[in-house]
C-alpha cells in the first residue's frame, strides 16, 4: 500500500481475523434476520443505492426530454406532459424519501456510529432491523404505486391538486408515512445509542463530529417526522373520505397544508445536510492530518442548525399566501441559518490551513463539497432576501439551489464517505485512479447540469415546466449534456466499487490514518466490533506524535 499514514495515526495492523461480520454466519436468512448494525447498514446501503439508481435514471430521462422545448427527439415525442409530470414526481419522491433521507444515517451511520462510539451495536438492535423492514415496506409500496400508474403531484403533494388528481396518490402517501416511521425509529435508536453506549472515557466533547452530526439529525428525525405523518394521514383521509381539512371546497385551507408540510420538510433538509457535513468533518481532518479546528464550535453549529431548522419553514411560502408579517419574520429567521453554516465552512478551511493534505478520492469529494456547498449556501441568500425571492421562487433558480445543497453537498459527502469507509465495510481498497477520475467527472458534470439552471431561473424559467420558450433552449441543452457527464461519473463509480469486491481482501485496518475508533478494529470488523472494549485515551483528531502527548 502506498497510502501515506500520518504520525498520529493509530495503526492497528495485525493479522486479518479469519472470521468477520461478513462470513460469521452464512445464507440469505442470516442477513434477513440479522440484528448486527453492520449488516443492517449494508442492507440499507444496497437499498438506498438502488433507489438512487432509479431516481437517477428518472433524472437523466427528465434532462434528456428537456433537451428540446417540445420534447422532440429523433422525430418523436420522448415524454408527453402527463408522463413528464409523473417522472419528475417520481424523481423527487424517490430521491427525497427513499434515498437521501435514509442515505447517510441509515447506511453509513448504522455501520459507523457504534464503531465510532466503541460500542458493540446500537442501543436497540431489533428496532434497527424493524426500521429497515419499514423502509423496505414503504419502498415496495412506492414502487407498486409507480407500477399502478404513478402519481403526478410533485413530491410536495400540494393540496388541492393532490386531493383531486387521479392516480394512486393515497398509496404513495401511505408509503411515505411508513418511510417516516422507519426514519423516526432510526433516529430514536441513534439518540439512545449516543447517550448510553459511548466508550469509557468518551465524554460528549470527545465524540467524533460525525456522531454530533448524526445525533443532531436524529433529534430532527424524532421531532419533525411525526408532523409529516399526521399531515399525510389527514391528506389520505381527505382524499379517501372527503373530510375537509385542506380543500377549500370542503371548507379546508390549502395554505395550512403547506405550513404542515414544510414544518417537516424544512427540518428534513437538515436531516439531509447535517449527516453530509458530519462526513466532511471526518474527511478533512483525516486527510489534512491535522486536528479539527474549532471542534466545539462545530458541535454547537450542528445542534444549532438542527434547532434553527424548526423555525424557518415559512421561507418556502413567501408568495404562497401566508400573512405578510409571517413572511417578514421568516425571512429574518432564515438568515440565522447562514451563521452556523458559515462557521462550519470556515472551520473546515481552518483545519486545512497548515495541514499536510493528500488527495485520495474521499478528500477530493470533501473539497468538491466545500465548493459546491459554498455555491448552494450563498445562492440561498438570494432566496432568503425578500425582494429577490419574489422573482426567483418557483423558478429553476430554486431547483439549482437545492440541488447544490442536496446533490452537490449531501450526495457528494455521501459518496466521499462511502469511499472513506469502503475499506472498513468490505475489507477491500477500491481503485484510486478510477476514483479520482470519476470524482472529476461528477464535479464537472454536476456543475454543468445545475449551474446553468441558476441562470434559467433568474431569466424567468418556472420550475416543473413541460414546454418552455425557445429562448431557454441553449442553457437547457448545456444542462442536459452535463447530466450525461454526471451520470457517466456515477456509473464508473458503481463499476469500480463493485469490481473491488471481486478481489481478495487487501485493506489495512486504518488505511487513511484516521483517529476515530472505527479504525481500531480490523477491516472488515469482527462480528462484535472489537476484540476488547476500546477506551478513549486521546481525543479524536489528535495528530500529535504519540510520544509527545504522554
Partner 1 sequence: MDWLRNWMMPPQGSAYAAEVDFTYMGLFWLCAVMFIGIAGAAAWFSWRYRFRPGRVTPHDTHNTKLEVIWTVLPLMLCIGIFFWGLNGWLKYAVAPGDAMEIQVTAKKWLWQFEYPDGTRTVNEIHVPAHKAVKFVMTSEDVIHDFFVPDMRVKHDIIPGRYTEVWFTPTVLGKHRFTCAEYCGKGHSDMHGDLSVDNDADYAKFLETGGTEWEQYKDHMDQWGKIQYERNGCSTCHSVDGSKSKGPSWKGIWHKMEELNNGTTVLVDEAYVRESMLYPQAKIVKGFEPIMPSFNNLLRDNQIKGLIAYIQSLQ
> Does residue 345 bind partner 1 (CB under 8 A)?
yes
Q: Distance (Å, rounded) from C-alpha 372 to C-alpha 370?
A: 6
Specify the stretch interacting with partner 1 by CB under 8 A; choose among 21-29, 36-44, 223-231, 458-466.
Answer: 458-466
Residues 102-161 that bind partner 1 (CB under 8 A): 152, 154, 158, 160-161
Total interface residues for partner 1 by CB under 8 A: 90
Three-class SS of residue 395? Answer: strand
Residue from the set 1, 11, 72, 81 that interacts with partner 1 by CB under 8 A: 81
Least Å distance, CB 357 to partner 1, is 5
Least Å distance, CB 340 to partner 1, is 9
∠ CA 60-66-70, nearest 5°, is 145
Give the three cell numbers for residue 394: 418557483
> Does residue 393 bind partner 1 (CB under 8 A)?
yes
Least Å distance, CB 289 to partner 1, is 5
Of 164 and 533, nearer to partner 1 (C-beta) is: 164
Q: How far is CA 496 from the centre of its chain?
A: 22
Of 25 and 385, nearer to partner 1 (C-beta) is: 385
Of 47 and 355, nearer to partner 1 (C-beta) is: 355
Q: Distance (Å, rounded) from C-alpha 160 to C-alpha 539?
A: 54
Q: How far is CA 394 from the centre of its chain?
A: 23
Residues 437-456 that bind partner 1 (CB under 8 A): 455
Q: Distance (Å, rounded) from C-alpha 237 to C-alpha 512?
A: 53
Nearest alpha-carbon partner for 418 in 496, 506, 477: 496
Three-class SS of residue 461? Answer: coil
Half-sphere exposure (CA, 13 Å, Cβ side) for 75? 0
Q: Distance (Å, rounded) from C-alpha 286 to C-alpha 512?
A: 7
Give the three cell numbers for residue 498: 463493485
Residue from the set 460, 473, 496, 538 that interacts with partner 1 by CB under 8 A: 460
Residue from the set 57, 62, 307, 342 that interacts with partner 1 by CB under 8 A: 342
CB 142 within 8 A of CB 130: no
Least Å distance, CB 426 to partner 1, is 25
Residue from the set 21, 177, 293, 365 that interacts with partner 1 by CB under 8 A: 293
Sign of CA pseudo-dihedral 396, 400, 405, 406: positive
Residues 350-379 that bind partner 1 (CB under 8 A): 350, 352-359, 367, 370-371, 374-375, 378-379
Of 138 and 514, nearer to partner 1 (C-beta) is: 514
Residue from the set 20, 34, 65, 85 that interacts with partner 1 by CB under 8 A: 85
What residues contact 325, with CB distance under 8 A and at least 6 apart?
none
Interface mask (CB under 8 A) for partner 1, residues 207-236, using x and -?
A: ------------------------------
Q: Distance (Å, rounded) from C-alpha 288 to C-alpha 544?
A: 13
> Does residue 256 bind partner 1 (CB under 8 A)?
no
Amino acid at each position: 500500500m502506498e497510502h501515506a499514514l500520518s504520525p498520529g495515526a493509530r495503526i492497528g495492523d495485525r493479522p486479518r481475523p479469519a472470521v468477520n461480520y461478513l462470513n460469521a454466519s452464512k445464507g440469505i436468512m442470516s442477513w434477513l434476520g440479522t440484528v448486527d448494525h453492520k449488516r443492517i447498514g449494508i442492507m440499507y446501503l444496497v437499498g438506498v443505492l438502488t433507489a438512487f439508481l432509479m431516481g437517477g435514471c428518472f433524472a437523466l430521462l427528465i434532462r434528456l426530454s428537456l433537451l428540446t422545448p417540445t420534447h422532440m427527439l429523433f422525430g418523436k415525442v420522448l415524454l408527453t406532459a402527463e408522463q413528464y409530470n409523473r417522472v419528475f414526481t417520481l424523481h423527487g419522491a424517490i430521491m427525497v424519501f427513499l434515498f437521501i433521507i435514509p442515505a447517510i444515517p441509515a447506511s453509513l451511520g448504522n455501520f459507523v456510529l457504534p464503531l465510532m462510539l466503541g460500542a458493540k451495536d446500537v442501543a436497540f438492535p431489533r428496532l434497527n432491523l424493524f426500521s429497515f423492514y419499514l423502509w423496505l415496506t414503504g419502498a415496495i409500496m412506492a414502487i407498486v404505486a409507480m407500477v399502478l400508474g404513478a402519481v403526478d403531484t410533485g413530491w410536495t403533494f400540494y393540496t388541492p391538486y393532490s386531493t383531486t388528481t387521479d392516480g394512486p396518490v393515497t398509496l404513495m402517501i401511505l408509503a411515505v408515512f411508513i418511510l417516516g416511521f422507519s426514519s423516526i425509529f432510526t433516529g430514536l435508536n441513534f439518540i439512545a445509542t449516543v447517550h448510553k453506549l459511548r466508550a469509557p472515557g468518551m465524554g460528549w466533547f470527545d465524540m467524533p463530529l460525525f456522531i454530533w452530526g448524526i445525533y443532531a439529525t436524529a433529534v430532527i428525525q424524532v421531532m419533525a417526522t411525526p408532523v409529516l405523518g399526521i399531515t399525510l394521514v389527514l391528506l389520505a383521509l381527505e382524499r379517501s373520505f372527503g373530510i375537509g381539512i385542506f380543500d377549500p371546497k370542503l371548507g379546508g385551507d390549502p395554505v395550512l397544508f403547506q405550513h404542515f408540510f414544510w414544518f417537516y420538510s424544512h427540518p428534513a433538509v437538515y436531516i439531509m445536510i447535517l449527516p453530509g457535513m458530519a462526513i466532511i468533518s471526518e474527511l478533512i481532518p483525516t486527510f489534512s492530518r491535522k486536528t479539527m479546528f474549532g471542534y466545539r464550535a462545530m458541535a454547537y453549529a450542528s445542534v444549532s442548525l438542527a434547532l434553527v431548522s424548526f423555525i424557518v419553514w415559512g421561507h418556502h411560502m413567501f408568495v404562497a399566501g401566508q400573512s405578510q408579517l409571517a413572511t417578514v419574520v421568516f425571512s429574518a429567521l432564515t438568515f440565522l441559518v447562514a451563521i452556523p453554516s458559515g462557521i462550519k465552512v470556515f472551520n473546515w478551511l481552518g483545519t486545512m490551513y497548515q495541514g499536510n493534505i493528500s488527495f485520495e478520492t474521499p478528500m477530493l469529494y470533501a473539497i468538491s463539497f466545500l465548493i459546491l456547498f459554498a455555491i448552494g449556501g450563498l445562492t440561498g441568500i438570494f432566496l432568503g432576501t425578500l425582494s429577490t425571492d419574489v422573482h426567483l421562487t418557483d423558478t429553476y433558480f430554486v431547483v439549482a439551489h437545492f440541488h447544490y445543497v442536496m446533490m452537490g453537498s449531501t450526495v457528494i459527502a455521501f459518496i466521499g464517505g462511502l469511499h472513506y469507509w469502503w475499506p472498513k465495510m468490505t475489507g477491500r481498497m477500491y481503485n484510486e485512479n478510477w476514483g479520482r477520475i470519476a470524482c472529476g467527472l461528477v464535479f464537472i458534470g454536476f456543475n454543468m447540469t445545475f449551474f446553468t439552471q441558476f441562470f434559467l431561473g433568474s431569466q424567468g424559467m418556472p420550475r416543473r415546466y413541460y414546454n418552455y420558450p425557445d429562448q431557454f433552449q441553449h442553457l437547457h441543452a448545456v444542462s442536459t449534456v452535463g447530466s450525461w457527464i454526471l451520470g457517466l461519473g456515477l456509473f464508473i463509480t458503481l463499476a469500480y466499487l463493485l469490481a473491488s469486491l471481486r478481489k481478495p481482501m487487501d485493506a489495512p485496518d486504518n488505511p487513511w490514518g484516521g483517529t476515530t475508533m472505527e479504525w481500531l478494529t480490523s477491516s472488515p470488523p469482527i462480528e462484535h466490533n472489537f476484540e476488547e472494549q476500546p477506551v478513549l485515551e486521546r481525543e479524536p483528531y489528535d495528530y500529535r506524535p504519540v510520544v509527545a502527548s504522554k
